Structures are given as structure tokens and as C-alpha cells.
Amino acid sequence: MKPSEDWDGNIPQLAERALGYTFQNKALLKQCFTHKSYGDSRKEEHNERLEFLGDAVLQLAVSEALYLREDTDEGRMTETRKRFVSREALNRAAKKADILKFMRYAGGEDTVGGKTPSNLFEAIVGAIYLDGGMNAARAFLKRYLEESEFCNYKSLLQEYVQERTKRPPEYTTQAVENGYGCTVRALGKEAEGFGASKKLAEVSAAEQLLKLFKERTE
């Protein structure tokens, strides 16, 4: 769907509902959904500056979350952060939020292909940060980016295991000091993971078991 030129009617409210965030400054909301092709053709401010800011906010928020949740070295945290902020991860998050349909753009639909979903996601992060601060940005990222990545590890393990057996992975999770510990078992192997929540612990365990299976095949 290509929104009307004036972004009128209930489009702004629908966009906010998809984001799970209500803007105080509606101009920021409109700007973050304005593609460069549309802004340049109509002399309006587009979302590239917001994208620049959103990238920095995203890097900080993810770095902070990893620092607080993982007792590990810099190298591993850096690799994990790369997965969270990759174009593929941001594209999945944008798809999960179903936000591309609100984009204001000029030209055909190929205009909003490629990097557009990930760029839009970063622009939204920047806009929410300006409008509501870091806590609002963190809440948005937790709702879409983190869940997208967390579900991916468990889904990847599920797919790997089900290609080889009908029995799904078995997760055992319990409270431990400063969070939760999880053990996942599949295909005669097991791995442990830890996290601040049960979901984080399960995802960490799934990631470790996937690494174990990968090491066996290399």
C-alpha cells in the first residue's frame, strides 16, 4: 500500500499502533516514514538524518544490553552485536512490526526495496529517541528487534533438529543467581545457557547447541 501524499486520515494512528509508541511530536513520526525519494521531490525533510541518529542509538542500546546480560569477553559481545544490528536482523524486525506499508515514497515499489526496511527501522529508533528518550527507544527495540533475534536462534535449532528427527529440542530452565540457567537437549547432545530472563536463557542455550552441532560438521 502506498499512503496518500498528505498521510491523512487514520494513517498516523495506525503507524503508531504498529510501532507501539505514541509520538508527542507528530512531525517526527511523519519524517521517519518519509523516504528520500519523496522528500526530495516535494522539498520535505526525509528520514536519512534520523537514520544516522538511530544507528548510533541502536549500537548503544544493544551494547548496553549485552554488557548487562552477558558475562563474557569483548570479542564475543562484538560478534553478538553484529548479528543484532545487521541488515538482515533489522529487516526481520521491520517485517515483524509491519511498518513498510506506511512509507511515503516517490516512484515504483522498487524504490523501497533493498536497504529501505532496515533504514526505516533505524530512522524510527532515532525519532523515538528524540521524542521520548532512551527508555522509549529501549522499549521499542525490546519489542521488535530483540524478540526477532531471540526467536531466530530457537527457530534455527528447531529446524536443524527436525531435519534429523521428529523429536523437538527439550528445554529445562530454572532460576539461578542473577537470572536463569537453561539446558537444552537434542540429538544426543546438550548445551547450557544463561540470561536475565527465561527467554534469554533458552536462546543462549539454543545458540550454544547450534555452535556445538556446527563444530561437529566442520
For residue 47, the one-letter residue type is N
Q: Grid cell 522499549 — which residue?
A: 139
Q: Catalytic annotation on 73?
A: no
Which pLDDT tens digits describe the chain residue by residue (218 residues)? 454 456 777 889 999 999 999 999 999 999 999 988 887 778 888 999 999 999 999 999 999 888 876 666 788 788 778 878 888 889 888 888 889 889 888 877 766 677 888 999 999 999 999 999 999 999 899 888 765 555 567 888 888 899 899 899 999 999 988 788 999 999 999 999 887 778 878 888 998 898 888 777 65
Phi, psi (deg, nearest 5) at residue 4 = -65, 160
Cell readout for 105 is 515514497
Q: Which of 154, 54, 60 is nearest to 94 (CA)?
A: 54
Positive/negative CA dihedral, 215, 216, 217, 218: positive
Of 16, 48, 73, 122, which one is the catalytic site residue? 122
Q: List, for residues 126-138, the tens digit of each pLDDT value.
A: 999 999 999 999 9
Q: So what's the pLDDT on residue 148?
A: 53
Q: Distance of CA 121 to CAs 32, 47, 97, 193, Å?
A: 9, 10, 9, 29
Q: So what's the pLDDT on residue 142?
A: 84
Of 51, 55, 131, 207, which one is the catalytic site residue? 55
As a whole number of angstroms, the distance between CA 214 and CA 26 comes to 48
Strand order in the sheet with 179-186: 170-176, 179-186, 189-195
Q: Catalytic annotation on 55?
A: yes
